[in-house]
Structure 1
């Protein structure tokens, strides 16, 4: 732990928003620093000391204009970005409470995709999350 630097560690939250068996994907702009022109789900980094639930609601509102209900944490991913930032990302299953999507300047388009679509339609890192959400929805009173 001698090399641990808090400035290189981030906690991120993501909203896996399901509506009528469809998932909301948003596409990053071509000038995005980390992953230009890639599909993603809403979310982002927490501010220092920020509650994950409030941070996720804030990030989702900023990126999509949507208000959400957080249902359950569904997955956690750990990875190191190309800039050596260590990221712990918590993915939450969410419901949209509003309809009108207004993308932020960070994103160029959005789409609702059927949950049972071909896996190629999803970002690769979401494959396992889609499976977990499908299992949760079919075995609960979602």
Structure 2
């Protein structure tokens, strides 16, 4: 707001930067079950909570969104999938812990996609340590709410379940 005396803005205050990232999450179902993954105790943001496979897009790396979600699912749980359409968009904020971030924030905009599994044997051998996953389960759709979900995933599950049954 301009100063009444000078008409110029007051002193500039620098706020920490906000970095934008895009993510995709795969809602993979088979025989009335949803594939869910558990964050490891080592996860810096949501230790021990459950979510679905997927991750953030590497700027400059992944160019095709279908290839991105295929790669994320392959790395996290070793499944091959047929990516389907997005059914929900949402966002969350998290501390930016990247080198040189200076206390900034990451705003993640995410798309949830219905995906069909082409394989069903889950394997963790392709994971990167930054995935911070230590378990997975094919959860009956009626039991999804009994798992401690990552809070930002709850509205997405609410949008997914009625159409999945």
TM range, smaller chain = 0.7 to 0.9
Pair 1:131–1:79, CA change in 2 (3 A):
closer
Question: Alpha carbons of 1:122 and 1:93: their partners in 2 closer, same or farther (altered >3 Å)?
Answer: farther
Q: What is the Cα-based RMSD across aligned positions, in Å?
A: 2.4
Counterpart of 2:55 in structure 1 is 44
Task: Describe the shift of the 1:12–1:73 C-alpha distance in structure 2 as closer, same or farther (beyond 3 A).
Answer: same
- Cα deviation digits, residues 37-69 of structure 1 (max 9, x gap): 221110111121422211110000000000011
Q: How many aligned residue pairs are there?
A: 136
Deviation, structure 1 residue 122: 5.3
1:74 to 68, 87, 92: 87
Q: How does 1:22-101 map to 2 (within 5 A)?
A: 22-49=33-60, 50=62, 51-83=64-96, 84-101=105-122
Matches within 5 A, 1:123-134: 123=149, 124-134=151-161
Question: What is the SS of the residue equivalent to 2:122?
Answer: coil
Unpaired runs of at least 5, structure 2: 1-14, 97-104
Secondary structure of the residue that 1:116 maps to in structure 2? helix
Structure 1 unaligned residues grouped into runs of 5+:
none
Task: Give the conservation status (yes or no) of the 8 Å contact 1:115–1:130.
Answer: no
Cα distance change, pair 86–116 in 1 and its aligned pair in 2 (3 A): same
Superposition TM-score, scaled by structure 2 size:
0.72
TM-score with structure 1 setting the length? 0.82
Structure 1 contact 74–91 (Cα < 8 Å) conserved? yes
Larger radius of gyration: 2
Q: Taking structure 1 as reference, are residues 81 and 117 closer, same or farther at Cα in structure 2, changes over 3 Å only?
A: same
